[in-house]
Homo-oligomer: A and B are copies of this chain.
Amino acid sequence: MQVTPELLSAFPSLKPLPAATLARLAQESLVRKFARRGVVLTAGVREEFVCFLFEGRLQGVDFTIDGREVGLYFVEPGDFCGELGMFDHGPQPEFVIALTAVVTVFVPMESLRQVTFEHPMLLKLLGERLAARVRQLTRQRSLLGLPNISQRVCCQLWMLVPEDARQNLNASVINNPPTHMEIAIMLNLSRETVSRVFQILQTRQIVRRDGTSLLHVSDTPTLKRLAEGSEEL
């Protein structure tokens, strides 16, 4: 499918680039759609594209030696993944799976590398992005240190709450929330345990499910306190 420069400029990391550059990148990029559960990036392979997420939600996952699934991070629309090879030409370290039907734009790494020569600004952006990834992985690792299981779930949920709702503590909606299983592998928990925590959260009217693609966060202040551990579930 055809990629327009306008589509590319929808991504904050590409937006600052001049129109001409975007036009060139657009020509070499391709829109790829994946169904739920589709494998967007494969671990161990030298992917030659950076994957920009336009719509839906992705999850980076790895597998332990004994085949157990491990959740690493979520990717939200506007963000991208698979950029590690930009820096070291190494293989993609983890799988990236579509949690919902997704629309992505694949931009060839080699073209992006070209652009970084002409526009160091992009290089800077990529560096900042990678740094952000390290910070995120670190935060997620700390989460796993929490001995209290419901706090762990609430923290993870908290990170999915939209930015402005986290600030103003107003009610909000999480779009395409991960399934219990997908949350479980992020937190080293069993699916059942996550289910039980959600059960309590729903009974206490802190969150409310609305179909499969919406999760209402009604009582944001309480969720915050639960995530911070100042209140027990």
Neighbouring B residues of A123 by C-beta, 8 Å: 123
The SS class assigned to the A binding surface is helix
Separation of A66 and B231 alpha carbons in the complex (Å): 12
Q: How large is the interface on A (under 10, 10 to 19, 20 to 34, 35 or more residues)?
A: 35 or more
B72 near A141: Cβ-Cβ < 8 Å: yes
Neighbouring B residues of A155 by C-beta, 8 Å: 65
Separation of A128 and B132 alpha carbons in the complex (Å): 15
Q: Give chain B nearest CB distance to A223 CB in angstroms.
A: 14
A84 within 8 Å of B (CB atoms) = yes
Neighbouring B residues of A135 by C-beta, 8 Å: 84, 90, 93
Separation of A88 and B134 alpha carbons in the complex (Å): 11
Stretch binding the partner chain, chosen from A34-42, A104-112, A144-152, A159-167? A144-152
Neighbouring B residues of A139 by C-beta, 8 Å: 93
A114 within 8 Å of B (CB atoms) = no
Set B68, B131, B145: member contacting A68, Cβ < 8 A: B145
A140 within 8 Å of B (CB atoms) = yes
Separation of A65 and B68 alpha carbons in the complex (Å): 27
B64 near A146: Cβ-Cβ < 8 Å: yes
Set B88, B132, B142, B147: member contacting A132, Cβ < 8 A: B88
